[in-house]
Structure 1
Amino acid sequence: MVRVLLSLMWLLASVSLASAQDLQSILQTHAQEVAKPSRNSVGVVLDDMVASGLPQVPVFLEQWIARSVWQDDATGLFYIASEDDNTLTLRDVDSGEETTASSEVFSQLRPNGGVRRVIGTALVQFQLSDPDPVRRQAALDSISRRSDASQLEPLLAALAGEDDPALRARKEQLINFLTARFGDDPEQRVAAIASLSSDTSVEARAVLSQILAVDSGVASAQPAGNIARILDPMEDRAASYEDLVEAGLAPAIVPASEVRAALEANIVDGRVGGIPLAQLNRQDRRDDAYRALARDGIVPPLVTQDDITTALQNAVFYEVYDEDDPIITNAARATLDAIQTRVGWAQTLDLTLDGLSLASIYFLAAIGLAITFGQMGVINMAHGEFIMMGAYTGYVVQLILPNYTVSLIVALPLAFAITFGAGIVMERLVIRHLYHRPLETLLATFGISIALQQIAKNIFGTQARPLTSPDWLGGALVISDVIQISYIRIAIFVLALVFLFALLYILKRTRLGLEVRAVTQNPGMAASMGINPDRINMMTFGLGSGIAGVAGVGIGLYAQVTSEMGANYIVQSFMTVVVGGVGSVFGTLAGAGLIGFLQKGIEWLNPSNTLAAQTYMILFIILFIQFRPKGIVAPKGRAAAD
């Protein structure tokens, strides 16, 4: 008998073990809950699936969420299926064997959104330890989007076996977040909250904000609980009194129309509330009549402004934390304040980088003008079109050379050569006849500017053309969640530095630079020393135009390449040169820095209106020039006298 019982027990254990390795058996055990799940009933099914540890469970859960699970109406078996017309391609949930059948004898499982979220939470437990790092990352992303107390234990269990450093750090961060919000031990929660003080990420701030979430309320006396702050009801009397009425602590305000209707409805023998009709032409008597009706219970009581003030002063308006433990909320508040301080410094640094980037762009756009206008005194309104020509040169080169790195290397010197030649042609044909005649030069170059824009429209059309940066310039340098700068802007900054040092070298260390400075300061004396002023003027104008062309390639990587793109920079270029100091390279650099940082600062104060920011910037520059007409770096010596 004992031997028979032992045999039966062994047989039952074997059957149970076999069933544990069979997902279909688990599904059949809970067939009703699987076919028509609810948020309350699906948990039992998921617990059994998780406990089984079967490798096919996460696949089934993924398909269940995607509504790709079907049930055979005749046998009740569940399959993973895809539908094509009225034909289903069925896959066995355990073996993966595929068959086909008509969809008319199958029912599709359609769990609602709430059930899918519960299934997704269970699926995360499998994905956290999945061999595929992509799946583990997806599980962590899911936890970060929908944090829940039930996810803390699976995360802790999955941490020990994590061999990927990045994923391990992410798991530790999420464990900190979940412990801070849902931990059972207050000391552990406080420690987790304190560890977030150096984390300036949006997620960390969101966790602390959720711990510090509050509900507003009103009471007749000081309330109990973890009070966040006491509110001043006088800041918004109307809204505060509505809260009192909703809480049942004050009578509702009777509208004037209802007061009038009540008085009209209760006229008895020429009186209302004992007051003759002839006296109701005064507000105070109408109020007295209405109060008399209210004392008799005929109408609701009248609420005056004095009554509202008294009611508000006698009530307590407050905000109470959702978190009951004040130790937790105090720690969260202190940590969030520390993070906000760090974020403030980070935002300042980020704003500084933005200003530096914009200053680099303005310096690139203005450095060529600093030569033609600053050194030669020529007001060249077509300077922006040389920038445009350089940008279009880069675009054409990319059409010929699809390798963006090679095309960029070719485009930079080619843009210089083309715009250098265009500048020389312009100087020989137009500018040389207009020296020392600034008004005529301005009008002539303005006409050339319009002509060049129209030529560009005829050749390239009116649509913006792409000047694509190489892959190594894509993306951004991310220092933190707050501080980041695109690689293109870094490249433009480097290009601006290269131009700065190259131009300083040319002007200070080369024969051409010496001759340019000589002709600029005293053309007659320079000519007597054997220098040809006409040739130097031509070369100087060509150099400034060529630099504008190279700047156009750099700016084109950042801005849209259109026929009007030069017009967007001509005003800032002239402001940069004038504010910095005419004739000074360092002045141009200082002017670009002032204008770039000023514009970014104004945009930060008024981020919704960039046009207003530019207007305020121009007004500031006008005032600046009134007090310092020679610019930041004023010319010295004979140049200053000129």
Structure 2
Amino acid sequence: MRSFILALTASLCLALPLQAQDAPPAPPAAESTISGLAGVIAGHADAIAKPSRQTIGPVIAAITATADPGVRDFLRSWTDRTLGQRKSDGAIFRIEKAGDGYRLADPLTGADAGTAARADISEIKPNAGVQGLIAGALVQFQLSDPDPAKRRAALDTLAREATAENLAPLRAAIDDEPDAAIKAQKQRVERLLTIRFGETPEERVDAIQSFGGDMGLDYRATLNPILAVARKAFAAAPEGNVARELKPGQGIDAEEAYALLVSAGLAPKRLTHAEQRAALEAHIADGAVGGIPVAELAEQSARDRAYTALEAAGQVPQAATDDEVSAAIAAHRYADIYAEPSEAVTEAAAAALKSVSLKVDAMYGLDLGLDALSLTSIYFLAAIGLAITFGVMRVINMAHGEFITMGAYTGYVVQSYISDYTTSIIVALPLAFAVTFLAGVAMERLVIRHLYKRPLETLLATFGISIALQQLFKNIFGTQARPLTAPSWLDGAWALNDIVSISYIRIAIFVLAMIFLGVFLFVMNRTRLGLEVRAVTQNPSMAASMGINPDRINMLCFGFGSGIAGIAGVAIGLFAKVTSELGSDYIVQSFMTVVVGGVGNIFGTLAGAALVGTLQKLIEAVNPSNTLAAQTYMILFIIIFIQFRPRGIIALKGRAAGD
């Protein structure tokens, strides 16, 4: 019995190692005791501490896949750079500077975890690329954030940097969205992401077609990459989603075709004449190269045969001669291949872009028209005062631009004392008129009235005054641009869609120009002053015989025109830099507006402003990169126009017309 027990004990002892060998190894302590998000963080601590945009993606995906309630707070701490790694054991904590060290907290719960010396902690500072990936992962949590602003920000992030993983959380967040506007935005972004990341071509095509004739920039920006193509060469029939097949000389030249063959490994590198000559010279033997006498190598075809013989003998590297290049090009096929593999998706995208192209072109035309209308109102406002002085008095006032500058500086001075921008503009407009009116009257009394009927002397005198006023502005206000701030209700722009928009400041200038057109027409047609001005304009001698004082009318007209220039300066200063040269930027266009429209006629000035403004915008649209060339072309056109219609669009009879 005793021997039996000993034998049984021995057999059990021998069996134990065998059982231990068959059993699976025990997991490490860390992995067996830590699970969920904490386990992912512990298992990837080093990658989290030193993240790289190229390698951190799987780690972020593993963190979000845990669906742990602490994922959002951990990711926020990571992107806010408030995480640190303890050097002794590699553990990750939330950190906060406290004296000479750090206060530690659990990275998930925020529970206090003691303190550590500064030398024991390495701060985790992800770069901008990694922060972008983390922000993309945070989006799914922000889509359901109680704060509407954060939900909108999350949608903006998705519109810029979405991934396929964001589509499911976005769809889940749509039905429970309480805000109708945000819900509509979520639905739009969901359709855009479906176009890019939908699981099936049918789903993506349905998303494309759901937009109908939408002209949104985000929609078109989503469709355009689908139609991106890469040009490739093939030994047989083109493979993939073919956009169009090309033939040498029809859509692709020979050089590009052979370059595609070389890059695809379908043909050897092309042999240049210099390389061929050097190779042949290096292999001359017994008066021949490759069996071809040197005397025959004067012809290119003979040199090609000689190099081919050397290739066959393995004496030179493989390279293509001209004949071989031509043969290789003819033996292969070429095509533009869509990057998108689904033909149905590319067809739907192409059809959608084509359907909105006409609308987009029409919207661009409308936007160009609004820009031209805006520029027309600016030129009209700047030129209306010049039209009065030049039309009635026949005075070429080269200082008209400085009256515009004077009005802008008046607005700046008013805003220096009145901080409310709306009130300051209301005060600045009549004050600018008064200041420039008095300056114009003083200029007329002191200089202009002594130079009537002497246009050259008047031009030189006003040009000198222009230079003097510019220097005076520099002495008073300096050479730096001064701010003339528009009220807050003029901030932004009226946008019809992603294409058509116009700033509220330009709309206000257009309204101001129309107001002055109405005021001018009322004064000229409904007041005694207007009657006297029209009489002096038509026939000053007859007007004087009827008891009208032409000298007084000239003075008032010059002051009135200068006053309007001052108001124009306030308006222009709201969107342009207020400097001493502000007026000189508009003086040439103002003269062109008056001359082209018709001297002395307000509707002619309006027509001239419309022609000059529209023409400038059209030329800039054709040649947007060179504004100087656009101005040159515009001046040339106007010179030609004046040759055929020297009195302008609307000619005025009387003294202003030279009768």
Q: TM-score, normalised by structure 1?
A: 0.90
Query: Pick from 123, 137, 161: which aligns with 1:122?
Result: 137
After superposition, the Cα gap between the structure-2 partners of 1:36 and 1:249, relative to the gap in structure 1 and judged at 3 Å, is closer
Query: Pick from 128, 133, 136: which aligns with 2:151?
Result: 136
Query: Pick from 183, 190, 194: which aligns with 1:168?
Result: 183
Shift of 1:88: 1.1
Tell me, what secondary structure is at the counterpart of 2:173? helix
Shift of 1:553: 0.7
Letter aligned with residue 368 of structure 1: G
Is the 2:64–2:71 contact (alpha carbons within 8 Å) kept by the matching residues of 1? no
Deviation larger for 181-190 or 352-361: 181-190
Is the 1:386–1:419 contact (alpha carbons within 8 Å) kept by the matching residues of 2? yes
Shift of 1:524: 1.7
Is the 1:28–1:77 contact (alpha carbons within 8 Å) kept by the matching residues of 2? no
Shift of 1:573: 0.7
Deviation larger for 28-37 or 599-608: 28-37
Letter aligned with residue 215 of structure 1: A
The aligned residue for residue 44 of structure 1 is: 62
The aligned residue for residue 19 of structure 1 is: none
Shift of 1:417: 0.6
Query: Pick from 250, 261, 271: which aligns with 2:288?
Result: 271
Shift of 1:189: 2.0
The aligned residue for residue 16 of structure 2 is: none
Shift of 1:231: 2.8
Shift of 1:302: 6.4
Letter aligned with residue 202 of structure 2: E
* 2:261 counterpart of 1:236: no
After superposition, the Cα gap between the structure-2 partners of 1:270 and 1:78, relative to the gap in structure 1 and judged at 3 Å, is closer
Deviation string 1:165-220 (CA, Å, 9 cap, x unpaired) is: 22212101111111122222443322210123433232211211232233332112
The aligned residue for residue 596 of structure 1 is: 613
In 2, the alpha carbon distance for the partners of 1:74 and 1:265 equals: 67
After superposition, the Cα gap between the structure-2 partners of 1:330 and 1:378, relative to the gap in structure 1 and judged at 3 Å, is same
* 2:414 counterpart of 1:397: yes
Superposition pairs of residues 410-559 of structure 1, within 5 angstroms:
410-559=427-576
Shift of 1:561: 1.2
In 2, the alpha carbon distance for the partners of 1:180 and 1:97 equals: 46
Is the 2:599–2:657 contact (alpha carbons within 8 Å) kept by the matching residues of 1? no
Query: Pick from 219, 237, 252: which aligns with 1:222?
Result: 237
In 2, the alpha carbon distance for the partners of 1:214 and 1:46 equals: 35
Letter aligned with residue 334 of structure 1: A
In 2, the alpha carbon distance for the partners of 1:268 and 1:345 equals: 73
Is the 1:39–1:114 contact (alpha carbons within 8 Å) kept by the matching residues of 2? no
* 2:121 counterpart of 1:103: no
Letter aligned with residue 529 of structure 2: L
After superposition, the Cα gap between the structure-2 partners of 1:365 and 1:113, relative to the gap in structure 1 and judged at 3 Å, is closer
After superposition, the Cα gap between the structure-2 partners of 1:408 and 1:592, relative to the gap in structure 1 and judged at 3 Å, is same
Shift of 1:625: 0.4
The aligned residue for residue 345 of structure 1 is: 362
Is the 1:34–1:42 contact (alpha carbons within 8 Å) kept by the matching residues of 2? no
Query: Pick from 375, 379, 396: which aligns with 1:379?
Result: 396
The aligned residue for residue 83 of structure 2 is: 69
Q: TM-score, normalised by structure 2?
A: 0.88
Shift of 1:639: 6.0
Is the 2:246–2:335 contact (alpha carbons within 8 Å) kept by the matching residues of 1? yes
Is the 1:127–1:135 contact (alpha carbons within 8 Å) kept by the matching residues of 2? yes
In 1, the alpha carbon distance for the partners of 2:128 and 2:563 equals: 62
- Paired residues in the alignment total 617
Shift of 1:641: 6.3
Deviation string 1:592-631 (CA, Å, 9 cap, x unpaired) is: 0100010111011111100000000000000000011111
Tell me, what secondary structure is at the counterpart of 1:40? helix
The aligned residue for residue 18 of structure 1 is: none
C-alpha RMSD of matched pairs (Å): 2.5
Query: Percent identical across equivalent pairs?
Result: 57
After superposition, the Cα gap between the structure-2 partners of 1:23 and 1:420, relative to the gap in structure 1 and judged at 3 Å, is farther
Superposition pairs of residues 575-594 of structure 1, within 5 angstroms:
575-594=592-611
Q: Where does the alignment leave 5 or more consecutive residues of structure 2 unmatched?
A: 1-32, 49-55
Is the 1:387–1:566 contact (alpha carbons within 8 Å) kept by the matching residues of 2? yes
After superposition, the Cα gap between the structure-2 partners of 1:74 and 1:292, relative to the gap in structure 1 and judged at 3 Å, is closer
Tell me, what secondary structure is at the counterpart of 1:36? helix
Shift of 1:242: 1.5
Letter aligned with residue 47 of structure 1: A
Tell me, what secondary structure is at the counterpart of 2:44? helix
In 1, the alpha carbon distance for the partners of 2:237 and 2:378 equals: 59
The aligned residue for residue 334 of structure 1 is: 351
After superposition, the Cα gap between the structure-2 partners of 1:637 and 1:567, relative to the gap in structure 1 and judged at 3 Å, is closer
After superposition, the Cα gap between the structure-2 partners of 1:260 and 1:435, relative to the gap in structure 1 and judged at 3 Å, is same
Shift of 1:292: 3.8
In 1, the alpha carbon distance for the partners of 2:314 and 2:218 equals: 57
Tell me, what secondary structure is at the counterpart of 2:506? helix
In 2, the alpha carbon distance for the partners of 1:113 and 1:458 equals: 47
Q: Where does the alignment leave 5 or more consecutive residues of structure 1 unmatched?
A: 1-21
Deviation larger for 216-225 or 629-638: 629-638
The aligned residue for residue 370 of structure 1 is: 387
Shift of 1:232: 3.9
The aligned residue for residue 585 of structure 2 is: 568
Is the 1:46–1:119 contact (alpha carbons within 8 Å) kept by the matching residues of 2? no
Shift of 1:562: 1.3
Letter aligned with residue 76 of structure 2: E
Tell me, what secondary structure is at the counterpart of 1:159? coil
In 1, the alpha carbon distance for the partners of 2:99 and 2:617 equals: 58
Query: Pick from 147, 152, 163: which aligns with 2:162?
Result: 147
After superposition, the Cα gap between the structure-2 partners of 1:431 and 1:73, relative to the gap in structure 1 and judged at 3 Å, is closer
Is the 1:625–1:631 contact (alpha carbons within 8 Å) kept by the matching residues of 2? yes
Shift of 1:381: 0.9
Deviation string 1:80-105 (CA, Å, 9 cap, x unpaired) is: 11346741133343255585432333
In 1, the alpha carbon distance for the partners of 2:564 and 2:81 equals: 61
In 1, the alpha carbon distance for the partners of 2:43 and 2:103 equals: 23
Is the 2:433–2:563 contact (alpha carbons within 8 Å) kept by the matching residues of 1? yes
Tell me, what secondary structure is at the counterpart of 2:286? coil
The aligned residue for residue 5 of structure 1 is: none
After superposition, the Cα gap between the structure-2 partners of 1:309 and 1:77, relative to the gap in structure 1 and judged at 3 Å, is closer
Deviation larger for 89-98 or 128-137: 89-98
Deviation larger for 351-360 or 143-152: 143-152
* 2:626 counterpart of 1:609: yes
After superposition, the Cα gap between the structure-2 partners of 1:191 and 1:384, relative to the gap in structure 1 and judged at 3 Å, is same
Is the 2:392–2:656 contact (alpha carbons within 8 Å) kept by the matching residues of 1? no
* 2:27 counterpart of 1:27: no
Deviation larger for 508-517 or 83-92: 83-92
The aligned residue for residue 24 of structure 2 is: none
In 2, the alpha carbon distance for the partners of 1:404 and 1:23 equals: 62
